[in-house]
Amino acid sequence: MSINIENLDLLEDKIITCKKCSRLVAWREEVAQVKRKAFLKWDYWGKPVPGFGDPRARVMVVGLAPGAHGSNRTGRMFTGDGSGDFLFPALFNAGFANQPNAVSLDDGLILNDMFITAVCRCVPPGNRPTRDEIQNCKNYLVKEIQIIKPKILVALGKIAFDGLRGIFPGIKSNCLFVHGAVYPINDHQTLVCSYHPSRQNTQTGRLTKEMFAQIWNKVSL
Ligand code: SF4
């Protein structure tokens, strides 16, 4: 499936209405109905989550998928969950975000020189999309990359790394997912690898604030 869209707003409309993966459609809607106790008053987003940020970004950050009670609730990537609580202060410190917090679509957050997206737009059970589901979603990411033309792509986690490897044949097969690794994609784009800022990584010390800051220092001008 190739997508004949050259405009981010139109692409966003197409993503938000997608129902291609029946398992994920059912799950995103169930999570949005059942809710978490702390968010019972929220009207959950419960739809695919599009990328967001600076349409002329030099840096594109590629994550895994929406969090059940994070972006599946708020409608914006990494917004309202523990991963975002770790990500946005780091982006703020590095000058990519105008504020260190992200809690809702209308919180005033603006990204500068950065666009944040993911390999899968719907919340998967257990945070694990299947290979077919990532494949179904692949062309949305391809299209975002074609429209934005980032110079640097930051893969947050191994699944994002593998997703980008499936898009760019120029990433050599002997390139391994290692935190901080930098690989050429082609003569004008570069891939940077980072551990995902999931609670599982940040609360176990696998990813520290210092390790994460090194990634953003590496990609800032
Ligand atoms: S994961 Fe992607 S392809 Fe699948 S339903 Fe969601 S938006 Fe569509």
User: For ligand 1, is residue 64 a contact (CB within 6 Å)?
Assistant: no
Q: Is the pLDDT of residue 1 over 70?
A: no
Q: Which pLDDT tens digit goes with each residue over 57-75?
A: 999 999 999 999 999 999 9
Distance CA 209, CA 144 (A): 28
Query: Which atom belonging to ligand 1 lies closest to the Cα atom of 136?
Result: 3
Quote the distance between the C-alpha of residue 171 and its chain's center. Answer: 20
Supply the mean pLDDT for the chain. Answer: 96
User: For ligand 1, is residue 15 a contact (CB within 6 Å)?
Assistant: yes
Q: Is the pLDDT of residue 135 over 90?
A: yes
Distance CA 26, CA 15 (A): 16
Q: What percent of the chain has a predicted confidence (pLDDT) above 70?
A: 98
Q: Is the pLDDT of residue 4 over 90?
A: no
What is the reported pLDDT for 2?
67
User: For ligand 1, is residue 48 a contact (CB within 6 Å)?
Assistant: yes
H or E element at residue 154: strand 152-156
What is the reported pLDDT for 61?
98
User: For ligand 1, is residue 133 a contact (CB within 6 Å)?
Assistant: yes
User: For ligand 1, is residue 11 a contact (CB within 6 Å)?
Assistant: no
End-to-end CA distance of the chain: 36
What is the reported pLDDT for 51?
98
Q: Whose CA is nearest to atom 3 of ligand 1?
A: 137
User: For ligand 1, is residue 185 a contact (CB within 6 Å)?
Assistant: no
- Amino acid symbol at 56: R
User: For ligand 1, is residue 49 a contact (CB within 6 Å)?
Assistant: no
* List of domains in the chain: 3-220 (3.40.470.10)
Q: What is the mean pLDDT of residues 164-178?
A: 95
Q: What is the mean pLDDT of residues 78-104?
A: 98
Q: For a substitution probing ligand 1, which of 27, 29, 122 has the most ligand atoms within 8 Å of its CB?
A: 122
Q: Rounded to 5 degrees, what angle do the CA atoms 116, 164, 128 make?
A: 75
If you measure from the C-alpha of residue 61 to the centroid of ligand 1, how many angstroms do you get, rounded to a whole number? Answer: 19
Q: For a substitution probing ligand 1, which of 29, 137, 141, 143 has the most ligand atoms within 8 Å of its CB?
A: 137
Q: What is the mean pLDDT of residues 15-44?
A: 98
User: For ligand 1, is residue 12 a contact (CB within 6 Å)?
Assistant: no
Q: What percent of the chain has a predicted confidence (pLDDT) above 90?
A: 96
Structure tokens at 6: 């050259």
Query: What is the pTM assigned to this prediction?
Result: 0.96
Quote the distance between the C-alpha of residue 183 and its chain's center. Answer: 19
What is the reported pLDDT for 221?
76
What is the reported pLDDT for 100?
98
